[in-house]
Structure 1
Amino acid sequence: MKKISKSALLFSILMLFLSESYSQNLGDKMEVLFSQFEQQHVLNGNVLVAENGKIVYQRSFGFANLENQEKNTNASAFQIGSISKTFTAVAILQLKEKGKLKLEDPLVKYFPEFPYTEITIQQLLSHTSGLPDKEELFLQRIENEPNRLFTNIDIIPAMRISRIPLAFNPGSNWRYCNMGYAMLAMLVEKTSKEVFSDYLENYIFKPANMHHSYLLKPKAGSNQVTGYRVRTHYLGDMEDIDTSKRVRPWSYNMRGFEGPTNIISTTEDLLNFDQALRTTKLLKAATIKEMLSPTLLADGKATQVDGEFGKASYGLGWFLQKDTSAGKIALHTGREPGFFSFFLRDLSHNRTLILIDNAESSAFGLACKESFNLLSGHEYFVGNVKTKRSLFLAYAKELYHKGADQAITLFNQLKTDTATYYMSEHELNDLGLELLDDHHDVAALEALKLCTLLYPDSWNTYDSYARALLDTGKKEAAILMYQKSVAMNPGNEQAKKMLKRIQSEQ
């Protein structure tokens, strides 16, 4: 045996001591942070922090089931939403390693009826295909077939019938697309000769020791939690997603799409997945490097993504943060009705951060950012103040209870207090649509009108305002707003359909 020098032994002991000290200190800081969130009742789910595969901090919040008053535990299993895409990507890359497919292959090679003949497997993996997504393909059909559950086998027929053009030439741009990953799941089945759920179980879940993970359908003894949403943010009511008419197209009609979503997992299983990737149990080192490298577009430039967690590029199934000051960061988020999820891997320091929530909690995004700031040891996500509150939520509550004049007065009083309040276009838009769906028409029009004034460069604000105008009988104004939305975003097919419908009725 090779002798270990005294100095080397002392160095190893020192490093072990420093590592344990760091972990203890980090765990204490996490406890302070998440105790604040728990006291404010703004989280409902699980968090896990690990270094070198060892859990440094773990905690559960709130309820797995409100009706039974059953609390979340470390063993609770959650819908992880779009984090499922990372598993689909691994499955495709495994099949590539086995020689079952090539990433440069056009998808039509495997599905001759696929109407977009130039799109490759690599472009589906990297979201550079330009494919129409599920809302464009299925929302109108859901209106006509409200009780139908659509699945992967419906996708190609829907594409052939709709004849929606690609958003751009494949490989020339980036646009997130769920249907691309549903097609990849079909490709897994086609090339492996196995049902997608069985493939995941046999080649990913079992090898990675993910014994509590599965695709959509619960296992015997599963600890799957119930998903809830805040039915009306301006009142704070909670609602089981299965009873929500507003999200039914996503929670039921389009729930059958496998590949982009629908994996159920726990925080500890996701940690095992992370470690299985790091130790090349699932993929070879060269393939992992390819998966975690920025995708290059046709012009030679890397993909550019402006996400809620900062500027990033996209690899094959992973967002790759541009800012590497804290190390090389790969992450993915997930959102489904009733669920938020966040999976961050610090590849440079072998650190892992996982948060999953089953109530669309208001502080979820802030918890993700602040916990990573602690994990990285500096303000990686800059400008996040723990005491910040939503200005638009305060505005919407005032609007609902006291009317438009009081609400805009409150807004004008608070809008300069940026140390205390934050503003989000998407939040104001969602609040306005919630008010509209609950038939508070005057309040909805005010909120959505304010959104167009504050965010005049967003085509979506005009689209939402147009819907409110149309629903309240103001057709001429609705036409103008739909036309403005389409002029800003020619790919807004739903608005085009609404314009045709209004004009045909006239």
Structure 2
Amino acid sequence: MRKIILFLSLTFSILTVAQDRFQKIDSLLSYLTKNDKFMGSLCIRDGENVVFNKAYGFADVEKQIAADRLTKYKIGSISKTFTAVMIMQLMEEKKLNLQTKLSRFYPNIPNAEKITMYDLLHHRTGIVDYINGDSITAKNIYRFHSKDEMIQKISTYKPLFEPGTKHEYSNSNYNLLGYIIETLTKKSYAENLQTRIVKKANLVNTYFPSEKINTAKGESYSYTYNGTQWEKIPEWENSIAYSAGAIISTTADVTRFMYALFDGKLIKPTSLEQMKEIKEGYGKALVQFPFGERRFYGHTGGIESFRAVVGYYPTEKLGISLMVNGDNFNRNDIMIGILSIYYKMPFPFPTFTKVDTTELAKFTGTYVSKELPIKIMLSEKNGDLIAQATGQSAFPLTFKAEKTFIFAPAGIEMIFDENSFVLKQGGMRFNFTKE
């Protein structure tokens, strides 16, 4: 009897510690939501079991439709991992292999006779990214693009480098893989997604959308914070992101997808090992996320103002996914906080200190740079410092330290001096002076 009581006491103690850990994670996300830094959803999965699943903020701010654990979000480039799995399945079915040439399907694309499925999967083709490398397409992301139009567009690009010589991320690669899936199966990408992954992994809220966002179906819009309120971001046309980034899902589903992938429910172990092969930082739609001595496998995604990440740590069978539809804080910093708390590591909550308006007034004005062909206008609004670059939307700056402000979603840091500031972004520095 004494042993039973001792066992029950120990079990209760373990559950209490775990619950306290999840309460702290909930407190962090609630704190960010309260400060208009975050809206979205988090799921943590231990093997097949979901141990934390909660949403924050709104799916539709205007209609005040609160998000819940079943709210569905666009997952952006996490879609690439789904696409890669389907390609690996087709290889297991002997319908193609890693050395199959792109010329078998699209001979008019430059270097098609040199580009292999391996190159497409690893972003080693030299094909221009039709979204980030083509300003014309970027301006037309809100209209329908047919498959033929996209193939023709990709066929006109001048190669950036010889296939196989280096890695450069390009959405074009994964659109082509999606088209190849359709060609080989004679079924749509949406149908393949349902039969090849959704049914096999027992997903319940994952699909390729056929129409615009519909909150009546539990789908969410995406938002950015303009300094005063959440502002809805216009939707892209689904044919643009397509197999490179248009899938809709939930945090619970994408963690289940990763569990199914690593548990052998979708592809053979040998195929999984091929997907895990990292070359210049990228596998076959899998990347590694280091956290201390741990190495998570997964992918990130971003479309409109949605930001998503999913990671899986095989040793512990731990899956974690964060989806953001209110983008006003660095997603990576949020994940570091979540994992730090989960693994009982120290993590101080960020502070969002308001600067006195008289101090903010010292920074306001229009700034120019000899290094960039833009002006940046800084103004004060409701106690926040607001920045707006030439031809771009305004965005709020968050106080970080003395004379330093940041805009976390874009990785921008601005360090002020008298009548000037240094803008840091992506490892680059630009000097601005006040007009």
Corresponding residue for 1:63? 58
SS at the partner of 1:103? coil
Corresponding residue for 1:352? 319
Output the amino acid matched with 2:172.
M
Instruction: Output the CA distance in 1 between the equivalents of 2:238 and 2:47.
Output: 38
Corresponding residue for 2:391? none
Instruction: Output the CA distance in 2 between the equivalents of 1:41 and 1:286.
Output: 45
Deviations 1:103-145 (A, max 9, x none): 11111122222222211111111112221011366422666x7
Output the amino acid matched with 2:333.
L
Instruction: Output the CA distance in 2 between the equivalents of 1:17 and 1:279.
Output: 30
2:110 touches 2:159 (CA, 8 Å); kept in 1? no
Corresponding residue for 1:202? 195
Corresponding residue for 2:105? 110
Corresponding residue for 1:140? 136
Instruction: Output the CA distance in 1 between the equivalents of 2:338 and 2:286.
Output: 20
Output the amino acid matched with 2:72.
A
Instruction: Output the CA distance in 2 between the equivalents of 1:43 and 1:71.
Output: 13
1:24 touches 1:56 (CA, 8 Å); kept in 2? no
Cα offset, 1:19, TM superposition: 6.7
Cα offset, 1:415, TM superposition: 7.7
Instruction: Output the CA distance in 1 between the equivalents of 2:130 and 2:18.
Output: 43
Higher strand share: 2
Q: 1:456 to 1:50 in 2, by over 3 A?
A: closer
Within the candidate set 126, 133, 151, 1:130 is matched to 126
What are the equivalent positions in structure 2 for 1:27-176 lying under 5 Å apart? 27-117=22-112, 118-135=114-131, 138-140=134-136, 148-161=143-156, 163-166=157-160, 168-176=161-169
Q: 1:109 to 1:29 in 2, by over 3 A?
A: same
Say if 2:191 is the partner of 1:213.
no
Within the candidate set 240, 251, 256, 2:232 is matched to 240
Corresponding residue for 2:244? 260
Instruction: Output the CA distance in 1 between the equivalents of 2:239 and 2:356.
Output: 33
Corresponding residue for 1:292? 276
Deviations 1:417-446 (A, max 9, x none): 59x9667694449x9xxxxxxxxxxxxxx9
Runs of 4+ in 1 over 6 A off after TM superposition: 12-19, 405-408
Output the amino acid matched with 2:131.
E
SS at the partner of 1:260? helix
Instruction: Output the CA distance in 1 between the equivalents of 2:194 and 2:48.
Output: 22
Identity %: 22
Cα offset, 1:14, TM superposition: 11
Gaps of 5+ in 2: 368-376, 380-384, 388-398
Instruction: Output the CA distance in 1 between the equivalents of 2:172 and 2:143.
Output: 18
1:152 touches 1:257 (CA, 8 Å); kept in 2? no
What are the equivalent positions in structure 2 for 1:179-194 lying under 5 Å apart? 179-194=172-187
Instruction: Output the CA distance in 2 between the equivalents of 1:181 and 1:146.
Output: 17
Cα offset, 1:26, TM superposition: 2.9
Within the candidate set 269, 279, 285, 1:317 is matched to 285
Instruction: Output the CA distance in 2 between the equivalents of 1:273 and 1:358.
Output: 21
Say if 2:297 is the partner of 1:330.
yes
SS at the partner of 1:134? coil
SS at the partner of 1:341? strand
2:99 touches 2:116 (CA, 8 Å); kept in 1? yes
2:77 touches 2:245 (CA, 8 Å); kept in 1? yes
TM-score by length of 1: 0.67
How much is the aligned-residue C-alpha RMSD, in angstroms?
Answer: 4.1
Instruction: Output the CA distance in 2 between the equivalents of 1:176 and 1:100.
Output: 26
Deviations 1:315-337 (A, max 9, x none): 1111113x474423112111111
Aligned length: 396
Output the amino acid matched with 2:154.
M
Say if 2:365 is the partner of 1:403.
yes
2:75 touches 2:249 (CA, 8 Å); kept in 1? yes
SS at the partner of 1:277? helix
Corresponding residue for 1:386? 349
Deviations 1:380-405 (A, max 9, x none): xxxx75325599x999x947994259
Instruction: Output the CA distance in 1 between the equivalents of 2:356 and 2:155.
Output: 46
Q: 1:417 to 1:84 in 2, by over 3 A?
A: same
Cα offset, 1:278, TM superposition: 2.6
2:412 touches 2:425 (CA, 8 Å); kept in 1? no
Corresponding residue for 1:361? 328
Corresponding residue for 2:256? 272
Deviations 1:66-109 (A, max 9, x none): 12111001110111111111100101001011111101111112
Higher helix share: 1
